[in-house]
């Protein structure tokens, strides 16, 4: 499941092979940009912003979002793709490489000088060079009655937290996702933990919040019916609170979280 760390690694890999390279062929397999051809343009870089990717290409910015199923792959010419061709939404070719965006939830081209407009609504980027913990905290506390599980998923609060981190952060801080933000003790530590967790996983292929890379990597996420690693109580799964929470699986320990 793509989260901020996944997008960061994707941007790093893409930037490594595309930066400074001239595009020899492009294929945008979405109706709005099907006739666009950026052949001959130079890629100036690929930048992650929360869970968004910004390819700077000539005077344009290619803005993509992985959503739930998307991914970017990089191949040598002639190498078989690991996903079926019908799932490809964007293909960028250089003399040496083929970058393919599969099942992208969002694809758009905007003017380079206006690229900030597509991500300006985002809160502080957990993996950005301009990470601002104070601003993230202020965003979190702006609505003290809101359920903390909803607030953590809101990219306007802080950018980069997805459902895995949302569940794990709530467990590690001992709070139910339905607890109002104003009732969460030491919200500073919650923000700090979010930053430390995603930073620790930034360069890992396999994400872990338990510190274990060979055994159980998550405290509660995906562990419904299994014993809590701390107390042995069965992990629960379901919908908590308002309907927005029902859009994502929620996991919690009824003993360790309250």
Residues contacting residue 105 through CB under 8 Å, at least 6 positions apart:
65, 66, 67, 68, 69, 70
Query: Token pair for residue 81?
Result: 């793709």
Residue 173 annotated among the catalytic residues of the structure: no
For residues 59 and 112, is the Cβ–Cβ distance under 8 A?
A: yes
Instruction: Give the whole-angstrom CA distance, residue 181 versus residue 141.
Output: 7
Helix%, strand%, coil% for the chain, nearest 5: 30, 25, 45
User: How far is the first Cα of the chain from the last one, in angstroms, to the nearest whole number?
Assistant: 27
Query: Token pair for residue 139?
Result: 């965003």
Residue 147 DSSP symbol: B
Residue 51 annotated among the catalytic residues of the structure: yes
* Active-site residue, selected from the candidate residues 3, 93, 147, 168: 3
* Active-site residue, selected from the candidate residues 9, 51, 166, 223: 51
Longest dimension (CA), the chain: 60
Active site residues: 2-3, 51, 248
């Amino acid at each position: 499941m793509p989260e901020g760390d996944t997008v960061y690694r994707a941007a790093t890999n893409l930037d490594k092979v595309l930066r400074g390279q001239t595009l020899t062929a492009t294929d945008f397999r979405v109706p709005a940009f099907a006739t666009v051809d950026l052949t001959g343009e130079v890629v100036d870089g690929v930048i992650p912003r929360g869970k968004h990717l910004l390819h700077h290409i000539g005077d344009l910015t290619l803005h993509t979002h992985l959503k739930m199923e998307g991914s970017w792959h990089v191949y040598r010419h002639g190498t078989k793709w690991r996903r079926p061709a019908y799932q490809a939404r964007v293909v960028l070719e250089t003399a040496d490489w083929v970058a393919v965006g599969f099942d992208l939830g969002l694809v758009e081209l905007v003017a380079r000088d206006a690229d900030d407009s597509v991500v300006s609504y985002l809160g502080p980027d957990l993996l950005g060079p301009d990470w601002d913990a104070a601003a993230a905290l202020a965003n979190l506390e702006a609505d003290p009655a809101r359920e903390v599980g909803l607030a953590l998923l809101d990219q306007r609060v802080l950018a980069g937290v997805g459902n895995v981190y949302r569940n794990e952060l709530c467990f590690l801080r001992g709070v139910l996702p339905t607890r109002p933000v104003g009732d969460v003790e030491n919200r500073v530590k919650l923000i700090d933990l979010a930053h430390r967790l995603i930073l620790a996983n930034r360069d890992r292929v396999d994400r872990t919040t338990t510190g274990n890379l060979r055994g159980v990597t998550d405290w509660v996420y995906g562990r419904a019916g299994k014993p809590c690693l701390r107390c042995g109580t069965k992990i629960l799964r379901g919908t908590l609170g308002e309907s927005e929470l029902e859009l994502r699986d929620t996991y919690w320990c009824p003993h360790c979280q309250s």
